[in-house]
């Protein structure tokens, strides 16, 4: 790929490409983890002892983050569409996921945890996401 081709790519595409070249995982969860880590936050991942096994856990802040795929968890964005075939099958699957999310959320908040959901589509605008998370989480130190 020529320099020019690289320059005319959108920043998102460019960073996705660079990440691939570096051999790093570009999945939504990894994006959020790297972003938080880069901002100086310390956290645990995949806390099996908490309901729903949250993706990211800030014990001292009593806050957890779930990074949700927009399709499976039914985000109200373009990615949360319903496939045209086997609609009932998909609908049941989606209902199950949404219901499970609701129960997990309830169980966590009932025991004093704050629950933050980061949507997959948000990870494509990492600057805005970083701002939002800093606002909810407070200073890193
Ligand atoms: Zn979304």
68 - beta bridge partners?
A: 119
- What does the alpha-carbon distance between residue 12 and residue 14 come to, in Å, rounded to a whole number? 5
Look at residue 86 in the predicted model and tell me its pLDDT.
94
- pLDDT value for 116: 97
Average predicted confidence (pLDDT) for the chain: 89
User: 16: closest CA among 126, 129, 117, 130?
Assistant: 126
CA 125–ligand 1 middle distance (angstroms): 11
In this prediction, residue 33 carries a pLDDT of 95
Q: How far is the CA of 42 from the centre of ligand 1 (A)?
A: 26
What spacing in Å lies between the alpha carbon of 11 and ligand 1's midpoint?
19
pLDDT reported for residue 94: 96
Distance 38 CA to ligand 1 centre (A): 23
CA 63–ligand 1 middle distance (angstroms)? 21
* Confidence (pLDDT) at 48: 84
Dig out the tokens for 17 from the structure.
């490409």
Q: Report how far ligand 1's centroid is from the alpha carbon of 14 (Å).
A: 21
Q: Is a pLDDT exceeding 70 seen at residue 128?
A: yes
Residue 12 confidence (pLDDT) above 70: no
Between 15 and 81, the more confident residue is 81
DSSP 8-state code for residue 99? H
Expressed in angstroms and rounded, the spacing between residue 131 Cα and the centre of ligand 1 is 17
**pLDDT of 25:** 63
- pLDDT score, position 42: 95
Q: pLDDT tens across 19-58, in order?
A: 555 555 669 999 999 999 999 999 999 888 999 999 999 9
Classify burial at 64, counting beta carbons within 10 Å of its beta carbon; exposed 0-12, middle 13-18, buried 19 or more: buried
């Amino acid at each position: 790929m020529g320099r020019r081709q690289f320059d005319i790519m959108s920043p998102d595409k460019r960073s996705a490409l660079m990440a691939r070249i570096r051999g790093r995982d570009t999945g939504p969860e990894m994006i959020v983890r790297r972003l938080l880590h880069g901002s100086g936050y310390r956290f645990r991942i995949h806390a099996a002892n908490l309901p729903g096994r949250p993706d990211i856990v800030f014990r001292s802040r009593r806050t957890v983050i779930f990074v949700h795929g927009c399709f499976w968890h039914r985000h109200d964005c373009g990615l949360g569409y319903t496939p045209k075939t086997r609609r009932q099958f998909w609908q049941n699957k989606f209902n199950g996921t949404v219901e499970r999310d609701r129960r997990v959320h309830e169980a966590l908040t009932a025991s004093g945890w704050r629950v933050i959901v980061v949507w997959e589509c948000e990870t494509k605008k990492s600057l805005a996401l970083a701002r939002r998370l800093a606002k909810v989480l407070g200073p890193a130190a």
